Amino acid sequence: AQSVTQLGSHVSVSEGALVLLRCNYSSSVPPYLFWYVQYPNQGLQLLLKYTTGATLVKGINGFEAEFKKSETSFHLTKPSAHMSDAAEYFCAVSSINFGNEKLTFGTGTRLTIIP
Amino acid sequence: EAQVTQNPRYLITVTGKKLTVTCSQNMNHEYMSWYRQDPGLGLRQIYYSMNVEVTDKGDVPEGYKVSRKEKRNFPLILESPSPNQTSLYFCASSTGQGFTEAFFGQGTRLTVV
């Protein structure tokens, strides 16, 4: 079974400050990891993903995440927060089980940007 | 434009009145699935489909049905809705070739009174 833990259901940072959203996973097989963003009244949009290869992954809107196998972590960072980053962020791990490409999501982190 | 379209976006209904939420994708994706999103629980998979006429249960299938008669459509059916099915529902599709991006619809906010 796979699981995802997102530490902090709400995170507030000042505009221009570092954004750090934490994600730890549990997986019995090599994981495939994703970060999705959800803006108000919208669906989920892929920010970035890790499948294989380079452990530092860059995504859209200046976000990046680093896969650390020893720590079972996939934390999301952005050097300088912008007001438009205010949204809810979901970390997810994927598996293929008899053809089911299920995404197992964390409970989400709501990011607030303070002007 | 690649997209997953859900309808309706908002729905208020009464207990026991059958309803269908439609989902359509224009990317020729083989794999489609339904999730529900509840506060503090994240998104949980309800049903999925690997191709036409191939569907199976996800983690929380009780009270739901699906069908996949055409590749592009994957409706979610609630035969007898109950208040505990009040939730935000998302349809998603992907190629089915493994660990590719899942595209999500805009969501359907369902309230059962």
Radius of gyration of chain A (CA): 14
Put simply, whether A2 touches B (Cβ < 8 Å) is no
* Per-residue pLDDT tens over the stretch B73-113: 999 999 999 999 999 999 999 887 766 788 999 999 999 99
3-state secondary structure of B11: strand
* Per-residue pLDDT tens over the stretch B61-76: 999 999 999 999 999 9
Say which of B33, B92, B99 has its CB closest to residue A32.
B99
Q: Could you say which residues of chain A have pLDDT below 50?
A: none
Closest to A72 measured CA to CA, from A111, A28, A35: A28
pLDDT at B46: 97
**A-chain residues near B23 (CB < 8 A):** none
The 10 Å Cβ neighbour count of residue B12 is: 10
Q: Which residue of B has its CA nearest to A102?
A: B45
pLDDT at B99: 66
Say which of A43, A103, A106 has its CB closest to residue B105.
A43
Taking an 8 Å cut-off on Cβ atoms, the answer to whether B106 and A99 are in contact is no
Fill in the amino acid letter for A101: E
Q: Dihedrals φ, ψ of B79, to 5°?
A: -70, -40
Say which of B31, B41, B45 has its CB closest to residue A107.
B41
Distance in angstroms (rounded) separating the CA atoms of residues A30 and A103: 14
Omega prior to B8 cis, within 30 of 0: yes
The Cα-based distances of B61 to A42, A53, B36, B85 in angstroms read: 24, 35, 10, 11
pLDDT at B98: 67
Tokens of B85: 């099915």
Put simply, whether B46 touches A (Cβ < 8 Å) is no
* Per-residue pLDDT tens over the stretch A25-44: 998 777 889 999 999 888 89
Q: Calculate the CA dihedral of residues A67, A40, B105, A33 and round it to 10 degrees.
A: 10
Taking an 8 Å cut-off on Cβ atoms, the answer to whether B90 and A49 are in contact is no
